[in-house]
Amino acid sequence: MPVEKLIVYVISDSIGETARNVVKAAMSQFYGKDPYEIKRFPFVTDQNTLSDILTNAKQQDAIVVYTLVEEKLIEFLEDFAQKENITTIDLMSDMLKKISGRLNKKPKREPGIIRKLDESYFKRIDAIEFAVKYDDGKDPRGVLKADLVLVGISRTSKTPLSMYLANKHIKVANVPLVPEVPIPKELSDVSSKKIIGLTNSPEKLNQVRTERLKALGLSSKANYANFERILDELEYSEKVFKKLGCPVINVANKAIEETAGIILDIMKENGLNIFKDGEI
């Protein structure tokens, strides 16, 4: 005799949304507009809670679909279900066993790990959006919200470093230094531990600025690439760095990764939180 209304309990140690979607996809093969009900129970991490849910599932003659990774909880659920004759479907264990066999590696068995991965992704996106919003001094208020502020004259790798560090979940604002333009007053409210000055050799600056002008179709004789102008800018930036009391890194002949590594070391020494590779 067909069931009038099938009830499915989705039990997860995380959000349970993936399991819910799998159940919906399966149900679509049997139901059109016919009734069925999915009851989702997220963040189930202890036996008492699990016992209460399974008792209700028994009373409602429900199928139990679960994505649990803790072996003790799985054993408890299956023992309970066997005694009470509850139909269960384990969406996770068989997959973990087969992947484990291929990789010859044990799974972490850590509840909610995919949610943490998602959180890591969104933190990275948030930091990247921050870097874009507060790039090149677009809004000086950004320095007050930033985890780190990079200051330096043009062509000292401020933007690429900001984006690289954003991928480490670090919110970076960068401020260009121009002798004719006063530095943002907001910088005086930022701890020197959160500010890093960037400089470059005059020869390297002359080279990269000349190439930049050519790429823009402009004359290489423009003041932007003038050697005397570059020396003036470097002298000005040194005065600003001393005033701010911040560490200074010369990026000449350094890859972005190398400079970023130095910055991360400085942040760590100053007690600032940083993202570690492999960290979730």
Q: What pLDDT score does 278 carry?
A: 41
Distance CA 166, CA 172 (A): 7
160-164 own/partner pairs: CB under 8 Å, 24+ apart: 160/256, 161/198, 161/256, 161/259, 161/260, 161/263, 162/131, 162/135, 163/128, 163/131, 164/256, 164/257, 164/260
Is residue 4 packed enough to be buried (19+ CB in 10 Å), middle (13-18) or exposed (0-12)?
exposed
Q: Residue 93's CB: how many other CB atoms inside 10 A?
A: 16
* Strand 36-41 to 63-67 pairing: unpaired
Q: Flag whether 158 is marked binding.
A: yes
Torsion, CA 206, CA 210, CA 213, CA 219, rounded to 10: 110
Q: Flag whether 18 is marked binding.
A: no
Chunked into runs of 10 residues, the chain (280 residues) has average pLDDT values of 77 86 85 78 92 96 91 93 94 79 72 58 87 94 96 97 94 97 95 97 95 88 92 97 97 95 95 62
What CATH code would you report for 114-269?
3.40.50
Residue whose tokens read 């870097």:
131
CATH architecture group of domain 6-111: 3-Layer(aba) Sandwich (3.40)
Q: Produce one character per residue of 149-185: b if its CB has 16 or more CB atoms within 10 Å, e if not.
A: bbbbbbbbbbbebbbbbbebbbbbbbbbbeeeeebbe
Q: Flag whether 271 is marked binding.
A: no
Q: What pLDDT score does 4 carry?
A: 67
CATH topology agreement for domains 6-111 and 114-269: yes
User: Which tens digits make up the pLDDT trace of 245-278?
Assistant: 999 999 999 999 999 999 999 999 999 877 654 4
Q: Flag whether 217 is marked binding.
A: no
Residue whose tokens read 């020396």:
231
- Backbone phi, psi, residue 150, to 5°: -105, 130
User: Which tens digits make up the pLDDT trace of 35-70?
Assistant: 789 999 998 989 999 999 999 999 999 999 998 888
Q: Look up residue 155 and give its amino acid.
A: R
Q: Flag whether 156 is marked binding.
A: yes
Domain limits of the chain? Answer: 6-111, 114-269
Q: Flag whether 153 is marked binding.
A: yes
**DSSP β-bridge partners for residue 89:** 65
